[in-house]
Structure 1
Amino acid sequence: MKIRFREIFPRFTEELKRLRHLERLAEVRPPIPSRRVQLFILAILLDVILVSLLFEHSELQRQAIFMTGIFVLAALLWVTESLPLFATAILIIGLEIILLANPGNWAGLGFEGGFSPDYREFLAPLSDPVIVLFFGGFILAHAVLKEGVDKAMASGILKAFGSKPFYVMLGLMLITALFSMWMSNTATTAMMITLVYPMLEQIPKGDPLRKGLLLAIPFAANIGGMGTPIASPPNAVAVSFLQQAGYEINFLEWVLIAAPLMAFLLVFAWLLLYNFFKPIDPSLELKPTPRKIDGRGWYVIIVMLITVLLWLSDQWHGLSTAVVALFPAIAFTATGLLGRSDVNSLEWHILILIMGGIALGVGMQLTGLDEVFVSYIPGEGSVVLAAMVIATILFSTFISNTAAANLLLPIGISFALQNTEIGMPGPVQLAVSIALSASLAMALPISTPPNTIAYSKGDLVTGDFTKSGIIIGGLAAMLIIALGNTIISFWTTY
């Protein structure tokens, strides 16, 4: 068969033009949404007005006024998300360096009296041990995901729960919570929904069980976010603030404190969801897709087990959790299991957000703004604890739970340090309560990334999250307020 050049050339030319047109379109960057720009400008204007009024009518010192402006601006930007969350965190650090440390010795900036802190104090959060701990956790989680260890382990464990919907839901929730204790709950949810989708295809359309299984995964991931210091950013921020205040909660102590609440909530959420979304046919059989683990996967499992054991036994071998976190980083990067692209794809924005939260707390402490805020809080211990827990859940329902913890933790810990009378909640109780409460916001699809992932699949509506999430969150809040101090006192000396 002869190829006629005259016939092919016009088609080739047209295809080349089309490709060049697509290339030009790809080079056109999407415009910044005008609503975000408007919200950002409005936040700046409101903040400037506030700072100006404080300078005119307040007796606060200059550094406290500047820090108030930084705190309020951070709150406005985190609530509106007119800037990405991590961008606001960077802005916090930059403003603290310029306005408070004043490295350029500019007139009208810095502390009154001329004794401004060194700018390195505001950069210290970049190397905080909690950041190293989370970095190691991200490395470990990325290796698990890359080698498919998560899905293989999950499908293997799920077999032990049989094929009946009642026990399958329990198995899904326990496995999801277990992985969320060591991995990002967002990644865990994405992985588990991928794993459960072949099982959903075995369920008829319109069967409530489909909704129940989809809801079970994000709810279990949120609850599992309580389990360890690396399970969620609020936990890490709480640990860092406590360390700065002179209180050390080791890895095992956190697990022992959170485990009872986590286990109870998992069982309660399981029974609640199953009763809300009962299957049409309870005898329906659901079977997971089997998956295998290769040699690289077993290497990841061995490194993971060693790391977890070292984290849980840090009070015996003397290595801090941050030092142990370097072990998986070395084990996976030195062997080539994780390359440059893998490291580049880590959740650096989460680390930056945690840094910003720590820097916010440092600034409030250095300027005395935390004491100013505390002076406006009622002095009754039970009221303060309840208010902090409820405020954290409400804030986290509508904004990032890390941002909510960043705003409330320094205030809560400062209150506890200044009110040491009998009956008042201590720093550890308030910090742990706020951090755990940040994982309880699950009443809306936008409350957490796991909720959003499940909602995006199209089977769920907002009401499905609301009626279950409010009950679980409300019960958990009551348990934290009523029993938190008893559990903390049992496992720690604080």
Structure 2
Amino acid sequence: MIRAGILFSTLSIFPAIFGWYQVWLGLTPAQEINLAIALVVSFLWITELFPLYVTGFLVLFLELIWLIPSWGPGAPKTITFLSCYFSETILLFLGGFVISSAISFYGLDATIASFVIKKTKGSAFLLVLSLGFATAFLSCFMNNTATAAMMLGLVSSMMKSLEETSPLRKSILFMVPFSANLGGIGTPVGTLPNVIGLAYLQEKGFHIGFLDWMVFAFPVFLLSVLALSGILYIVYLKKEKENSSLHLIGIQEETFAHPQKKRMISVVVILVTILGWVSSDWHGISNGTIALFPVIVFFGFSLLDLQEFKKLSWDVLILMGGGIALGKAFEETGLAKHFVSIFLLGESGQLGLFLFFSLLSLFLSCFLSNTSVANLILPITMGLPGELILPAAIGATIGASLAMPLPVSTPPNALAFSYGGIRSLEMVKIGGSISIVAWILFTVVGGFLLHQMQIVDFSQF
């Protein structure tokens, strides 16, 4: 794999050194170097030959030592790319990480999940449904993989009492990862593609508020989880005799020794932060600035300690910075607009591009990480004419999170698959079905809400 990586990188950079991309594709020198960098880092992101955050640093390194020095007159300053690694969007996601850490540290996730699951009163279908909604809700603010791991751990003792062929066990192993994926689209901080998409849009002067995002995304993921429950009932749960092998006393709970006072303060801080994000359009304070509030309070007042600070996903923030910096290069060099003109994408309407880019993202995310897909496709959408950028970018952003047919499609899928008892073909059947249904719900319900909110205009195809 290392040899393949070296060979591909060499083949990507070699034509740029001799100006062949300029001849083949009609690029400027800066665009040619930008393309070579994009090819190299895209290959590394897809293959994960290097850790993803290292590739994030590589983007900046190549831009500073190769792209800018070779640019000539009108070259951007280094701060143009450096600022991508600590931008408003990075602050927003940092605040989300801190909230996620606090939820896990004080056991708020397990408390919420246990409460919801225990209200199912012995019904297998209600258990799966409530498990899905609890997982999706937590995934709106927590890392999808961490949420799936926590929820599976919560019901692991119960699953041990079920045979591997049990319809209930299969339903749980499908519901948890899929609802974790779906819940990620619910808020701007729910999953990486959301934040990356918002970063690109903000660079172009488009602003979608926290509440505006939730207005169109929340109904989509709620209906998708409900649809997933229906699919699982039809395929598995209607075969399960009511109350057979369902003993809620088997749900595994954790006990936390943290003072009740600190837990309550943590809840208040989280709620105030979320309220601040939701009402940002009213008070005018940016979401990134609001995200500093939980960071300062949790660590400043020792609600979280230095060890929790060190455990924050700094590698993910560097990865995001690399993706944003690559997109910034696409914008500055004009490479995105060049690709748009080549493929005649600028001649389509808002609805057509919304459907096209959402489908393209969904298809690619079946085989690649949704973060890689967002980093690959979103820069291209930024080259579209102004009125077409928003629908194309939203479609690409959400579409990247809707693909879940394979064990390798998302980390939560792989985690659930590792428990055993489900076959790849079964995951393709259930995951493929909900991917299609979720895409339809997104394009119909989400598209309708976006149009009604006048964020996009779908009056013409």
**If the length of structure 1 is used for normalisation, what is the TM-score?**
0.86
Per-residue CA deviation, residues 10-68 of structure 1 (Å, 9 max, x unaligned), is xxxxxxxxxxxxxxxxxxxxxxxxx2x11320221220244242145554211010011
The one of 405, 415, 423 aligned to 1:461: 423
Call closer, same or farther: CA 1:355–1:309 in 2, change over 3 Å.
same
1:344 aligns with 2:310: yes
1:48 aligns with 2:13: yes
Per-residue CA deviation, residues 330-381 of structure 1 (Å, 9 max, x unaligned), is 1211122222221111111111111111111110111010111101223333
Match of residue 194 from structure 1: 153
- Name the SS for the 2:394 alignment partner: helix
Larger Rg: 1
Q: Is the Cα contact below 8 Å between 1:165 and 1:286 reproduced in 2?
A: no
Mapped partners of 2:278, 2:417: distance in 1: 35
Mapped partners of 1:338, 1:122: distance in 2: 32
Call closer, same or farther: CA 1:59–1:436 in 2, change over 3 Å.
closer
Q: Is the Cα contact below 8 Å between 1:393 and 1:441 reproduced in 2?
A: yes
Match of residue 268 from structure 2: 302
Q: Give the gaps of 5 or more residues in structure 2.
A: 457-461
Deviation (angstroms), 1:183:
0.7
Mapped partners of 1:357, 1:251: distance in 2: 22
Match of residue 224 from structure 1: 183
Deviation (angstroms), 1:205:
4.2
Match of residue 240 from structure 2: 280
Q: Is the Cα contact below 8 Å between 2:196 and 2:324 reproduced in 1?
A: yes
Q: Greater CA deviation, 406-415 or 360-369?
A: 406-415
The one of 451, 464, 471 aligned to 2:433: 471
Match of residue 74 from structure 1: 41
> 2:42 corresponds to which letter in structure 1?
A
Mapped partners of 1:428, 1:476: distance in 2: 20
1:356 aligns with 2:322: yes
Mapped partners of 2:439, 2:116: distance in 1: 31
The one of 162, 171, 178 aligned to 2:130: 171
The one of 387, 390, 401 aligned to 2:359: 390
Mapped partners of 2:450, 2:352: distance in 1: 19
Mapped partners of 2:390, 2:363: distance in 1: 21
> 2:95 corresponds to which letter in structure 1?
G
1:151 aligns with 2:113: no
The one of 377, 381, 384 aligned to 1:415: 384
- Name the SS for the 1:375 alignment partner: helix
Runs of 4+ in 1 over 4 A off after TM superposition: 55-58, 289-294
> 1:282 corresponds to which letter in structure 2?
E
1:446 aligns with 2:404: no
- Name the SS for the 1:153 alignment partner: helix
Mapped partners of 1:472, 1:458: distance in 2: 21
- Name the SS for the 2:165 alignment partner: coil
1:326 aligns with 2:292: yes
> 2:187 corresponds to which letter in structure 1?
T
Mapped partners of 2:399, 2:22: distance in 1: 36
1:39 aligns with 2:4: yes
Match of residue 459 from structure 2: none
Q: Greater CA deviation, 147-156 or 184-193?
A: 147-156
Match of residue 13 from structure 1: none
Deviation (angstroms), 1:309:
1.3
Per-residue CA deviation, residues 170-201 of structure 1 (Å, 9 max, x unaligned), is 00000000000011111101110010112213
Call closer, same or farther: CA 1:257–1:280 in 2, change over 3 Å.
closer
Per-residue CA deviation, residues 118-143 of structure 1 (Å, 9 max, x unaligned), is 11101011121110011011011111
Number of residue equivalences: 444
Mapped partners of 2:300, 2:444: distance in 1: 48
Call closer, same or farther: CA 1:243–1:445 in 2, change over 3 Å.
same
**If the length of structure 2 is used for normalisation, what is the TM-score?**
0.92
Mapped partners of 1:164, 1:480: distance in 2: 29
1:118-157 alignment, distance < 5 Å = 118-157=77-116
> 2:71 corresponds to which letter in structure 1?
G
Mapped partners of 1:193, 1:350: distance in 2: 23
Q: Is the Cα contact below 8 Å between 2:110 and 2:253 reproduced in 1?
A: no
1:162 aligns with 2:124: no
> 1:77 corresponds to which letter in structure 2?
L
> Aligned Cα RMSD in Å?
1.8
Mapped partners of 1:58, 1:431: distance in 2: 24
